[in-house]
Structure 1
C-alpha cells in the first residue's frame, strides 16, 4: 500500500476578527453609576413606592434590552467559528475512524502472532517436561509469562529460561522430598513455587497445632485437692455437704 499523507495547510484558514463598536459606552456607564448611587440613597415609603417600582421596572427593561443585544451579537460572532469547528470535527472523525480500523487489524495480527508463539513455546514445554519425574506436577501456565510472548523475546531465550526453570524445580522438589511432612510442603510449593515460603508455612502450621494441642492437654488434666480436718465434727459436716452435691471424694483417716 502506497503511503498516503493528509495535506493540512493551516495557513489556508483565514480569520477575520469580529469588531463591535459601542460608541455610547462611556456615557451610558456614567449614567448607570449615577443612577445606582441615586437608587442606593432612595428611601421608599408609602407615598413613592409606586413611583419607585415604575422607575426600577423602566431601568431593568432598558438593561434587558442591552443584555439581549449582547447575546444577539455574541451569537452572530460565534456563527463562523461554530461552522469552522463543525468542519474540523468532521475531518477528525473521518481520520479517527480510519485509525481505529487499522489499529484493530494491528491488534488482531499481534494477537495471532502471540498465539502462534505460545503454541511454539508449549511444544518446547511438552518436549522438556517429559524428562522430569514431576511432569504431571506443574502445568504449562505455571511457567509461561507475558514477556515470553513479546516479539523482543526470542524462542531461544524462552527455551533457556524454561530449562533453568525446570532444573530449579527439579532440585527443589528433590530437597523437599527429604523433609518431614513432605506431602504437605509439596502441596504448598505447587501453589507458591517458593521453597523457603513453603517450608516455613508448613512448619509454622505444625507449631501452631502443637501449641494448641499442649494447651488442650493442660486444660483437660484433672486436679485433686486435699482438705485436712482437725476434728471429727468438721469432717462429718463436710462429708455431708459433699454427698448432697454428689461430688466424688475420698477419705483417709490417720490413726
Structure 2
C-alpha cells in the first residue's frame, strides 16, 4: 500500500516576555492599594470619576497589549492551520465519489436482505392481522444479523402474539375490544389498559344511569304527593263551600207583613268562586233577604 508522509518542521517555541514585569506589578499594586482604600465624599464625585477613568485606561492598555501580542504569536500557527485545512479538503471530492459507491453497495445488500426477510415472513405462518412492518426490527438489515437469528426472532414473536390473543380472550369483560387494540398495536399492555378504560367508562355510565333513574323516581313521587295534596285541599274546599251554602234545617223564612203582597220569586242558577268566608257571608245575606238557596250538585 502506498504511503505518504507529510513532513512538518520542528516547532520553535516562541517566547514573549514582559521585561519589566516586577516593576509593572509593583506599580499596579501601589495604585490598587491607594484606590481600594479611598473614600470619597459627595463633593468629591468628580474626583472619583477621574480616578475610575485612570484605572480603566490602565486596564484597557494592558488588555490591548495582550490581544495584540497574542495575534502576533499565533500568526504563524494560523497560516499553518489554513494550509493543513486546504490539504485535507483536497480529498473531499474523491471521498464523496467512493462513499456514494459504498452506500450504493450497502443499499443493494439491504434491499436483497429485505426481500429475503419478506419471503421468510410469508413462510412462518403469522396470524392474518400481523404484518411485517409491525414486527420488523431495523437491526435485521445489519450485515451482522444472520437470517437464522431473524427466523428465531420471528417465531418467538409469533408465539408471543398467540399467547397475547389467548390472554385477552379470557378477560371478564371487553375482551373483544382489547383484542382489536392488540391486533392493531401488538402491545398487550396497551390492549389491557384499553379494556380497563372501557370497563371504567361502562361502570361510570351505569352509575350515572342509576342516579338518573333514582332522581326521576324521586321527582315523580314528589309530584304525585303534590297532586294528592292538591286534590285533598280542593276536596276540603268543596266540602266547606257546600256546608257554607247549605241552609240550616231550622231556618224559617222571615215573616211577611200581611198588608204587603208577597213578591213573585224566580229561580236563578249561577256559579261563583268564593272563599269559605265569602260563602258564609253570602248565606247570611240570603237568609236576611228570605231567599231560599241550595247547593247545586
TM-score above 0.5, yes or no: yes
1:126 corresponds, among 103, 122, 126, to 122
In structure 2, distance between residues paired with 1:100 and 1:147? 26
Unaligned ranges ≥5, structure 2: 39-49, 238-297
| 2:143 counterpart residue number | 151
How far did 1:128 drift? 2.9
Which of 158, 161, 165 is the aligned partner of 2:153?
Answer: 161
- Say if 2:121 and 2:154, in contact at 8 Å, map to a contact too: yes
Deviations along 1:219-244, one digit per CA (max 9) or x if unpaired, are 2332124879xxx9xx639x99xxxx
Q: Secondary structure at the match of 1:80?
A: helix
* Residues 83-113 of structure 1 deviation map (CA, whole Å, 9 limit, x = unaligned): 1122222233335665555455444433332
Q: Secondary structure at the match of 1:13?
A: coil
Q: Distance in 2 between matches of 1:93 and 1:150?
A: 31
Q: 2: CA distance between counterparts of 1:196 and 1:34? A: 76
C-alpha distance in structure 1 between counterparts of 2:28 and 2:167, whole Å = 95
Q: Does 1:89 align with 2:85?
A: yes
- For residues 224-239 of structure 1, what are the structure 2 equivalents within 5 Å? 224-225=221-222, 236=233
State the distance in 2 between where 1:28 and 1:199 align: 79
Instruction: For residues 186-210 of structure 1, give each alpha carbon's deviation from its aligned partner in whole angstroms, at most 9, with x where no partner exists.
Output: 2111133244652453254134313
* C-alpha spacing 1:14/1:215, structure 2 compared with 1 (3 Å): same
Q: Give TM-score scaled by structure 1 length.
A: 0.58
Summarize the Cα distance change of 1:8–1:183 in structure 2 as closer, same or farther, 3 Å threshold: same
> 1:47-96: per-residue Cα shift (whole Å, max 9, x none)?
xxxxxx9xx99xx9999999988766555443322211222222333356
1:193 aligns with 2:186: yes
Matches within 5 A, 1:14-33: 14-19=10-15
Q: Deviations 1:108-160 (Å, cap 9, x if unpaired)? A: 4333322221111001112333xx6x42x121111211122222221122122
> Is contact 2:113-2:141 (8 Å) kept?
yes
Which of 79, 84, 95 pairs up with 2:75? Answer: 79
- What is residue 7 of structure 1 aligned with on the other side? 5
C-alpha separation between the residues in 2 aligned to 1:108 and 1:204? 49
C-alpha deviation, 1:175, in angstroms: 6.0
Answering whether residue 110 of structure 2 is matched by residue 117 of structure 1, we say no
Which residue pairs with 2:195 in the alignment?
Answer: 202
Segments of structure 1 that go 5 or more residues without pairing to the other structure are: 42-52, 241-255
Larger radius of gyration: 2
Q: Distance in 1 between matches of 2:167 and 2:58?
A: 96
- For 1:181 and 1:74, locate their aligned partners in 2 and report how far apart those are by CA, in whole Å: 77
Range moving further from structure 2, 152-161 or 204-213: 204-213
Match of 1:184? 177
